[in-house]
Each structure stands twice: as C-alpha cells, then as structure tokens.
Amino acid sequence: MKFIHSADIHLGKTYRNSTGEAERYEDFFHSLSGIVEDALNEEIDFVLICGDLFHTGQILPKTFAKTIETLQPLKEAGIPCIAIEGNHDWIHRRNNISWMEALSEMGYIRLLRPDRTEDGDYRFEPFDEETGMGGHIVIEGLNIYGLGYIGAQAGSHVERICNAVTTENNLLLFHVGIWKYSPVEIGNMKIEEAHPLAEKFSYVALGHGHKPYVIETPEGTPYAYNPGAPERVNFGEEKYDKGYYFVTVEDGKFSPEFRSTDPRPMLVEAINIDGTKDADNALARFCEQVQEKLADISDKRAPLLELKLAGRVGFHPFELGRERLRLALDEFASPLHVEIKNHLSLVTRTGGEEVVKKSLAEIENDVLHELIGTHSKYKGREEELAVLSLAVRDLVLKGDIEDDELLGLFSKDV
Ligand SMILES: [Mn+2]
C-alpha cells in the first residue's frame, strides 16, 4: 500500500491589494497540484490532508471552484482524498455548511470528524459517502480515523481518543502540534501526552506546525509524522524544509519518505546601515546588502521579502520611507511582496556627545497620540486608539485580512 501524507496547504492565501496578489494566490494551488500529480503517477491508494486545506474558514467562491478543479483528477482516478479540519478551516457558524463539508458531500474529499457523546467521549462513526460525514474509513484493512483541530486541551483528550478505537491496524489524522518541535504557539500538546497514541496507532499523521518533524516513543520508535506546509505560508518559514511524506506500507510497517516541493523563495533579513550620515548613502548600502543575500538564492522567481532596517543614522528615518525602499528594490529584485520594518533611529551630535533621538516607530506613535487627542470625542483614549491604528496599518500592509474582518476590529474596539 502507498499513500501521501500532506498538511497545511492554505489555499486562498495571498497578499491582498498587492501587485503580486494573483501570482501568490496561484502558489498554493501549484503545490496542491504537484501532490495530486505525484499521487496519479505513483498510483497510490489514498491521499491524506491533515488540516488547513484552506487558509480561512470563509473562502471566496473562486477558491472553492479552483479547489474542485485541482482535486478533480484524484476523483476521476478513484483515489480517495481523506481530510480533517485545521484551525484555519474550522467552522465558526454551526448552522451553515462549511466549505470542507461541501467538498465532502460532493465527493472531492472524505472529511473525517468524530462525534462526541454527552459525557465528552469520542465516537468515530463509519464514513458515509452519501452524506460525506463520519469519523472512520477502512481502506484495504487499514483503519483510518480523523480528528480535526481540538485546540489547546488536545493533550488531555488522548485517553478518550484511544478508548474510542477498538480495531487493530490503525492510522490517525490529527491537527495538533507537539511543544518540543512545533513552531506555533497555540494548539500544541506535550510530547509525553502524545505517546499513548503509539499504542493504538501505527501511524499518526499530524498537521499544524509548518515545519516537518517526527515523534518517537521513549524507546526510539517513530510513530507520528508532521510533514509541514508544502509552500512557505508565513515569514519565518524560509529555512524550513518544504514537502510531504510519501509512505509505503508493507506487512503493517510504515516507511515514510520526505518528498520536497518547490516553494517560492523567501528572504527574511536584518539590514544594518548603522552609522550612515545621509539617506542616499544608506539606500545604496541597503541595496547592496539585499543584493548580496539574494545572490545566494538560486531560484529566480520573484521573491518574498521581509526586511528589517536597523542602525543609528545621521538623517531622519522618515527619509527612507517604505515607497522609496520599494522602488529601489523593484530595480534589481522585482519582489512579489515586501514587508519593511524600519527600526532606524536618528542620532545627532551636540558638542561631541551623541544623542539618540527617536526612532520612526516612536515618532509615528507620538504623531498618532497628538492627532487622536485633538478630537474631543477620543480624548483620554489616545493610547488605546493609537495601538489599534498601528495594528490596522500593519494588517493592511501584510495583506492577510479581508475588508470585513478589518471593519470588525473597529466595531469591536471603538
Ligand atoms: Mn496551518
């Protein structure tokens, strides 16, 4: 038996209102089609998607249509695509059918989700192809169980999960991180809380943390695998291996092989221009350093850049504004998306003594406080509203949030 274990595809993710929006949107479908292609070429038995197929719970209709188109070849070849929900595609509105449920009902995925009894016990009902619902599916004698994202308390549920499984030869899909290895801050459990799973399941297929890792029992037997995301989803993932597991099963023994994908190049760098006296010079040093770093990347696709400008300089940090830096970068790097953090601070010399003036962030904060404070309606709430304004500014620049979510921030806080 052969199968693919993937996770965290994040379809629908892009940088809104950025020139690279359409191209970035395609990246995530590109990584899923690569997996589908491999599945067909290798004539595997099934594909696993361990959560976060979608980047958000509410997706655009075109994202749904494109997902169907991408999964169509699997459906036609009769290769089941077994999925669970992650924290990103979690259903918030109980009375509406989720996109994942719709895909399952239409036969593009088999969405596994357990039932809970009144006492909080788990029940994995057999998957029903008519309704697209259930928690347990059998493929060639292998019992496949699916758990979505159950949040921070996952560790305390392990015993109940194991109790619900009475079969032999079991596999579990679980969207959870393991503290020791997972790079994410929420939805993790302790490694010792995970170990009892090894007694019930020969293979635990994890998803959640976007970095690959393997969990072993205290005796050193591997049993749980996290493939990470096949594309770089966020800044901070530039150094992770990207791919999925291609698993061969022989006589009940699972042998996973990590297969690499080709994610878009990403560069996260601190650019030090300490000591520069004027903005032109600083800009030249900035470009030189970025160019040097980019030369190390052999993939010539338009990169994603997160650059932090640091140093004490002899000119006003406002002179190296975002737009100016962006125009300079366009000339030699043509990045798909840029995020710039300006941490420069102005230093002046008075009588041989260096005086550190304010940083750009401090100046911005001061200006906002002053503007907000001049309006009698907002007087006294300067700090709170300045924090909100800056948070909104950062979210807009990141391009990772829908317009109505942004509006939601205001109706809640103002
Ligand atoms: Mn994810």
CATH of the domain at 62: 3.60.21.10
The contacts found for 294-302 with CB under 8 angstroms, 24 or more apart, are: 294/267, 294/333, 297/265, 297/267, 299/262, 299/264, 299/265, 301/264, 301/265, 301/336, 302/20, 302/23, 302/264, 302/334, 302/335, 302/336
Cβ neighbourhood burial of 205 (10 Å; 0-12, 13-18, 19+):
buried
273, 253: one domain: no
Distance 399 CA to ligand 1 centre (A): 17
SS (H, E, C) 72-91: HHHHHHCCCEEEECCCCCCC
116, 243: one domain: yes
What is the pLDDT at residue 184? 84
73, 106: one domain: yes
Distance 398 CA to ligand 1 centre (A): 17
Whole-angstrom Cα distance, residue 157 to residue 180? 19
Residue 299: half-sphere exposure toward Cβ, Cα within 13 Å: 13
Contact in structure between 188 and 195 (CB atoms under 8 Å): no
What does DSSP assign to residue 11?
Answer: B
SS (H, E, C) 101-148: HHHHHCCCCEECCCEECCCCCEECCECECCCCECCEEEECCEEEEEEC
224 belongs to a structural domain: yes
Distance 176 CA to ligand 1 centre (A): 10
Distance 233 CA to ligand 1 centre (A): 8
- From the list 191, 202, 266, the residue with the least C-alpha distance to 229 is 266
46, 137: one domain: yes
Whole-angstrom Cα distance, residue 376 to residue 76? 65
118, 249: one domain: yes
- From the list 52, 51, 13, the residue with the least C-alpha distance to 30 is 13
Contact in structure between 113 and 18 (CB atoms under 8 Å): no
CA angle, corner 338, sides to 336 and 343, nearest 5?
A: 170
The token duo for 89 is 């595609």
Residue 6: how many other CB atoms lie within 10 Å? 31
Concatenated DSSP letters for 224-255? EEE---SS--STT-TTS--EEEEEEEETTEEE
Write down which residue in 335, 356, 377 finishes a domain: 356
What radius of gyration, in Å, describes the C-alpha atoms of the chain? 25
Find all residues with CB under 8 Å of 235, minimum gap 6, and list them.
Answer: 266, 268, 304, 306, 339
Distance 33 CA to ligand 1 centre (A): 18
Distances (CA, A) of 207 to 33, 245, 336, 337, 395: 19, 12, 27, 26, 26
Could you list the mean pLDDT of each consecutive 10-residue stretch along the chain, which spans 414 residues? Answer: 98 90 97 98 98 90 97 98 86 68 96 93 96 96 94 90 97 95 87 96 97 97 98 95 98 96 96 94 96 93 95 89 93 94 82 74 88 90 90 82 74 57
115, 89: one domain: yes
Contact in structure between 136 and 113 (CB atoms under 8 Å): no
Domain that holds residue 155: 2-260
Structure-derived torsion over alpha carbons of residues 29, 33, 39, 40, reported in degrees to the nearest 10:
150
374 belongs to a structural domain: no
273 belongs to a structural domain: yes
Distance 210 CA to ligand 1 centre (A): 6
Does this model's pTM top 0.85? My answer is yes
Whole-angstrom Cα distance, residue 71 to residue 94? 26
Write down which residue in 260, 290, 308 finishes a domain: 260
223, 273: one domain: no
165 belongs to a structural domain: yes
Residue 188: half-sphere exposure toward Cβ, Cα within 13 Å: 16
297 belongs to a structural domain: yes
Distance 208 CA to ligand 1 centre (A): 5
198, 250: one domain: yes
366 belongs to a structural domain: no
Distance 382 CA to ligand 1 centre (A): 35
256, 334: one domain: no
The token duo for 344 is 């420069």
Write down which residue in 227, 260, 293 finishes a domain: 260
Strand partners, 54: 11
Cβ neighbourhood burial of 256 (10 Å; 0-12, 13-18, 19+):
buried
385 belongs to a structural domain: no
296, 228: one domain: no
Distance 160 CA to ligand 1 centre (A): 25
What is the pLDDT at residue 147? 93
138 belongs to a structural domain: yes
| Strand ranges for 177-242 from DSSP E | 177-178, 188-189, 203-207, 213-216, 222-226
Residue 405: how many other CB atoms lie within 10 Å? 12
199, 328: one domain: no
Find all residues with CB under 8 Å of 370, minimum gap 6, and list them.
Answer: none
242, 340: one domain: no
Distance 61 CA to ligand 1 centre (A): 21
Distance 87 CA to ligand 1 centre (A): 7
What is the pLDDT at residue 368? 92
Distance 331 CA to ligand 1 centre (A): 34
As for how many domains the chain has, the answer is 2
